[in-house]
Amino acid sequence: MKITSIKSHVLRYELDSELGYSQQYYKHRTAHLVEVQTDEGITGWGECFGPGNIALANKYIVEKVIQPLVVGEDPLNKEYIWHKVYNLLRDSGQKGMPIQALSGIDIALWDILGKKTKTPLYQLVGGKCNDQIPVYGYGMMLQKKSVDELVELFKEEAKQIKSKNFKAMKMKIGLGPKEDLKLVQAVREVIGKDFKLMVDANHAYNVNDALYVGRGLDELDIFWFEEPVAPENYDGYKELKQKINTNIAGGEAEFTKYGWNELIKNKCIDIAQPEVCGLGGITEYLKVSAIAQANFIPVINHVWGSAVSIAVNLHLLTAQPDMPGGLFPSKSMLEFDTTEKNIFITDLPQEDFSILDQVKQNNGFASITDNPGIGITPNENFIKEFEVYE
């Protein structure tokens, strides 16, 4: 079997209302799908992390930089292909967009292997360790409103997320230390003290401000404080980890086994959040997960994107062993977007693939199917409707 072509599809549509996080507000939702075709008629699908115009840049890397390096290769030689591309790009792309682009291609190669062998992805990466995965909802995005207005919006959204049977929820912060603690306290009060709550700063703070916020989060029994400082600031992560009790989570902006080795070696995080669509794909994710396990760090995947990303992560979590093991282990969770309806999740797959329905019906849990590969196939008519060619 040979790779004959690689197509890149950037999808975009306008949101009803503007949403944001600590770095920017946005009015459009994007997704970047990768389609790898073979001479046997088997097509694999993957996804690249990266919103907005980043997706357009990654599209160029996929089609104009990486595709010429791998057309004609056997798609089952995933390890060889990964290192061939990385070695030829490493002088210019050890992190960032080249690795995001490679991630989508690598995921598609695993999808091809699953379809070729008629095997679901979770079996290919180790087999079933979990019959079902707890799901947490993330929402409560920032908006261009006053703190008091956001307090009321966040309280209402938190109630809605809890009512849908999610096992936990995550909110955005990044307005400023005092304003953020006001938001978190309001959400904590409305959902109760026993419901698991996480906060995501998207690296908004310097160390001193992060310490101030972190100590406040300690008082509110927050499960994790995500990306408190810039991802390059290993010393800052380490200091926060030493000085506050709330779990420090991070890693969505870390790349490859090399970057993750440094993050973990420097004792930066309590919870690892690898982004499989960004760090180098499934081939590299498995190595990152092994490094985390060897250092007894729980892995709770970062998930952003379309139904393709969600399906891939559900497979990976299904195959993930408990860390640590025991009769009553703390299970990893699937991250799920609960903001304004995301049609790249609900309407993209040809198959029936509703995480929301599963969460509601199964008291907060979701399960993967035994369909081969990643288990879903994007609808080509849907892709044509929302694809952009800028």
Kindly tell me if the per-residue pLDDT of 390 is higher than 80. Answer: no
DSSP state of 327: S
Residue 373 in domain: no
Sign of CA dihedral 276, 278, 280, 284: negative
Residues 6+ apart with CB under 8 A from 242: none
Q: Are residues 70 and 203 in the same domain?
A: no
For residue 71, the enclosing domain spans 3-119+378-388
Q: Are residues 225 and 131 in the same domain?
A: yes
Q: Are residues 345 and 207 in the same domain?
A: yes
Which structure tokens are listed for 314? 């559900």
Residue 372 in domain: no
CATH label of the domain that carries residue 174? 3.20.20.120
Q: Are residues 102 and 58 in the same domain?
A: yes
Q: Are residues 80 and 103 in the same domain?
A: yes
Q: Which whole-number Å values give the CA distances from 54 to 45, 58, 157, 194, 208, in the listed order?
A: 19, 6, 29, 39, 31
What is the rounded distance in angstroms from the CA atom of residue 171 to the CA atom of residue 156? 12
H-type alpha helices, the chain: 52-60, 67-70, 78-89, 97-117, 121-124, 147-163, 177-191, 207-219, 234-243, 256-265, 276-279, 282-294, 307-318, 343-346, 355-361, 380-386
Q: Are residues 283 and 152 in the same domain?
A: yes
pLDDT for the residue 216: 98
Reported as a single tens digit per residue, the pLDDT across 188-216 is: 999 999 999 999 999 999 999 999 999 99
Reported as a single tens digit per residue, the pLDDT across 237-286 is: 999 999 999 999 999 999 999 999 999 999 999 999 999 999 999 999 99
Reported as a single tens digit per residue, the pLDDT across 347-377 is: 999 999 999 999 999 999 999 999 999 999 9
Which structure tokens are listed for 64? 């104009």
pLDDT over 70 for what percent of the chain?
100
Residue 284 in domain: yes
Find the largest Cα–Cα distance for the chain.
59
Number of domains in the chain: 2
Is the bond leading into 51 cis (omega within 30 degrees of zero)?
A: no
Q: How far apart are the first and last CA of the chain?
A: 33
Residue 371 in domain: no
CATH label of the domain that carries residue 41? 3.30.390.10
Which structure tokens are listed for 294? 């060897």
In terms of phi and psi (left: phi > 0; alpha: psi -120 to 50; beta: otherwise), the region of 251 is: left
What is the rounded distance in angstroms from the CA atom of residue 288 to the CA atom of residue 286? 6
Kindly tell me if the per-residue pLDDT of 23 is higher than 80. Answer: yes
Active site residues: 302
